[in-house]
Structure 1
Amino acid sequence: MIRRTLLAASLAAFTFASNASAADQPLRIGYVFAMANAPALIADKEGFYKQEGLNVDLKALSDGPVIQQALAAGELDVAYVGTPPVYQWYSRGLKSTILAKVNYGQAAVIVDNKSPIHDLAGLNGKKLAGVKKGSGMDVLLRGYVLKEAAGLNPDSDVDIIDMPAGNMNAALERGIVDAAFTWEPFVSQALLRGNSRVLFDVNQALPQYPWYVVIALPKTLQDRPDDVVKLLRAHRKAVDFLNQHPEESNTIIAEAFKLEAVQSADGKTISPEQIVAQARSRLGWSADLQPSDLQFIQRLMNDSTQLGFMNTHLDAKDLVDTSYLDKASR
């Protein structure tokens, strides 16, 4: 009887120690290092994670594929990433759940001020700077901007040249390309220099379309549901801070992304904070996933299938669970 009691006590102590050890482990969060993902760094710098009693290991990563590798290797629990990679990974077996929205807007097609191109149809036969084929932004470019809005065949009517977004403005200025499909802060930097203009603003055509989202792995949701709710509370606080304190948050963003001042065509110096302020005309932040957001995600999924980037039909509703965000809002 004594041996059984001692054994039970030992097992209970071991279980308690294991649970305590798991609770002490930081929640590992990865985010694509992009201005649109500002809520992740705001939550960290303003102490919102700590306010929720959440220990985090926050990692800024270069792009979606790097985050995919980290998730697949079990090196991340949660990620801030673009919607298209999420459903593309899902179709290939890397399951995750979309929990909340991060931002809306950000992308535009720009041309040189002196360009004879004045509408999307004018891109026919032209060179357009874009990103890697099959990536999230490429799906938006080919499926919506070129096929739907411009009525062009992205494979034959336009010469899409893959290059880093940071090189697009220079390529446009040097005449290497006729137009560029880019995003913030690159759009605002080009406009504030005074040598480019917006040909097509995606956020005007599709007001407040969602892009980056917060996702979690099934294991994270199973093992750490309370921490996920805490994370989403901190996320909501960060979004509110961005919207309620624009000047202060613009400074944080400018410093975090190491934005440099630009010179306008008339010789004026445009500060990094002004670049962020300009970007807000095409970019904003929101945590809530609306029915219209799910419709947009479904549109992207359908475009990915039609473009041959995905061979599985998915329903956006199967990838989204807003119950954790609902708990975080109480």
Structure 2
Amino acid sequence: MNNRRQFLGAAALLSLPALPARAQPRPLRVGWVYAMANAPVVVADQKRFFAEEGLQVEVKQFGDGPVLEQAMAAGEVDVAYVGAPPVYQWFSRGLDARILAKVNYGQAAVIASQASGIRSVAELRGKRLASVAKGSGMDVLLRGIVLPEHAKLDPEKDLSIQSMPVGNMNAALDRNMADAAFTWEPFVSQALLRGSSRLVLDVNAVLPSYPWYVIAASAAALKDRGPELVKLLRAHRRAIAFLQGNAAEADKLIAQTFKLETVQAADGRTIAAEAIVQEARKRLGWADKLEARDLQFIQRLMDRSQELGFTARPLKVEQVVDLGLWQKSVG
């Protein structure tokens, strides 16, 4: 009798409908532009600061800002470590996203081949300047601020701007295919340490601590994943503190992540990869708080973008910046 009751009880349990499996939360999808200035996302991931904040993240690198913004527009990315210009440019085209915090300041410079004789940006008149694609964020900085304000040059008339990938610029200088280049780290430091080029203008020297890369989140992430974004901003701040307080370890991690190789100096010395990062720190740093002057600079970029015809309508920085979650992250 007992066996029969056990059998009937087991049969009854089997006949009950199965309970639905509890859905696992989807990882927060974080995209980042593959650039040394975005080192905080690398540190936060590899030093497990994201995990220690209780976050599940899926980190994916992208070649440039527009491609990353396309991924965000397609709903493939929740958060982006990206330049400020792609955020507001895509916002002007309908992508509902907001800038939450700063990632870095500095990184860009004008360098010239030693053979060119160029020693100031004003001497770019009539010369060939290698730069990135017209309409890109760095191009806005070059055409809208650097050339007209710091060289008194008309970018359309006074020099020849040649578009090419940033990774090709140093070779173009070496082969006399360009006289100078508007480039960024680590390419600036690689050229300077080799001795093949001279520094003509450190943009961070004339625009002190200007912001470039920022953290942006889609409207959907802001609506549905606010607490996770606060945790991400805390991890981001911890990563910046690590970069500032553990320079030797951080430089090694950066050199490995960006596959930096040793540099052969003009005098035959071999310069370690970590030394490239040390040199880059002279023009590049990290911070998470968007100061009032940062917002003013982003507004200048927006205004220049419209004047240059790269955005179709005027924008105000208040439309694309939301500091509410950053404020919660420090509370």
**Pairwise TM-score range, normalised by the shorter structure:** over 0.9
The whole-number CA distance in structure 1 between the counterparts of 2:315 and 2:66 is 21
1:238 equivalent in alignment to 2:239: yes
Partner of 2:16: none
The whole-number CA distance in structure 2 between the counterparts of 1:66 and 1:307 is 22
Deviates more, 1:118-127 or 1:202-211: 118-127
The whole-number CA distance in structure 2 between the counterparts of 1:133 and 1:114 is 27
Partner of 1:274: 275
Partner of 2:115: 114
List alignment gaps of at least 5 residues for structure 1.
1-12
Give the CA deviation at 1:115. 2.5
Report sequence identity in percent: 58
Aligned residues: 313
The whole-number CA distance in structure 1 between the counterparts of 2:42 and 2:119 is 38
The whole-number CA distance in structure 1 between the counterparts of 2:80 and 2:30 is 5
Partner of 1:183: 184
Question: Which amino acid letter does the alignment assign opposite residue 157 of structure 2?
Answer: S
Question: Which amino acid letter does the alignment assign opposite residue 179 of structure 2?
Answer: D
Q: Secondary structure at the match of 1:296?
A: helix
Partner of 2:326: 325
The whole-number CA distance in structure 2 between the counterparts of 1:89 and 1:139 is 14
Question: Which amino acid letter does the alignment assign opposite residue 185 of structure 2?
Answer: E
For the aligned residues, what is the CA RMSD?
A: 1.2
Partner of 1:227: 228
Q: Residues 248-327 of structure 1 correspond to what in structure 2 (within 5 A)?
A: 248-327=249-328
Q: Residues 34-49 of structure 1 correspond to what in structure 2 (within 5 A)?
A: 34-49=35-50
- The C-alpha deviation readout for 1:79-127, integer Å capped at 9, x for no partner, is 0000011100000101210000000000000011232222111111111
Question: What TM-score do you get using the length of structure 2 for normalisation?
Answer: 0.93
Question: Which amino acid letter does the alignment assign opposite residue 89 of structure 1?
Answer: W
The whole-number CA distance in structure 1 between the counterparts of 2:42 and 2:75 is 22
Give the CA deviation at 1:68. 1.7
Partner of 1:167: 168
- The C-alpha deviation readout for 1:14-62, integer Å capped at 9, x for no partner, is 8xx7xx63x6210000000100000001000000011011000000111
Question: Which amino acid letter does the alignment assign opposite residue 212 of structure 1?
Answer: Y
The whole-number CA distance in structure 1 between the counterparts of 2:132 and 2:99 is 24
Question: Which amino acid letter does the alignment assign opposite residue 119 of structure 1?
Answer: S
Question: Which amino acid letter does the alignment assign opposite residue 116 of structure 1?
Answer: G
Q: Which of these two proteins has the greater Rg computed from alpha carbons? A: 2
Partner of 1:73: 74
Deviates more, 1:317-326 or 1:73-82: 317-326
Question: What TM-score do you get using the length of structure 1 for normalisation?
Answer: 0.93
Q: Which runs of 4+ in 1 moved over 6 A?
A: none
Partner of 2:203: 202
Q: Secondary structure at the match of 2:322?
A: coil
The whole-number CA distance in structure 2 between the counterparts of 1:87 and 1:309 is 11
- The C-alpha deviation readout for 1:275-327, integer Å capped at 9, x for no partner, is 00000000000000000000000010111011111121111122111111111
Question: Which amino acid letter does the alignment assign opposite residue 321 of structure 2?
Answer: V
Q: Secondary structure at the match of 2:115?
A: coil
Q: Secondary structure at the match of 2:327?
A: helix
The whole-number CA distance in structure 2 between the counterparts of 1:121 and 1:46 is 44
Partner of 2:212: 211
The whole-number CA distance in structure 2 between the counterparts of 1:317 and 1:73 is 24
The whole-number CA distance in structure 2 between the counterparts of 1:304 and 1:51 is 40
Give the CA deviation at 1:207. 0.6
Question: Which amino acid letter does the alignment assign opposite residue 118 of structure 2?
Answer: I
Question: Which amino acid letter does the alignment assign opposite residue 47 of structure 2?
Answer: E
Q: Secondary structure at the match of 1:265?
A: coil
Question: Which amino acid letter does the alignment assign opposite residue 216 of structure 1?
Answer: A
Give the CA deviation at 1:217. 0.5
The whole-number CA distance in structure 1 between the counterparts of 2:247 and 2:318 is 33
Partner of 1:103: 104
List alignment gaps of at least 5 residues for structure 2.
1-18
Partner of 2:194: 193
The whole-number CA distance in structure 2 between the counterparts of 1:304 and 1:250 is 34
Partner of 1:4: none
Partner of 1:83: 84
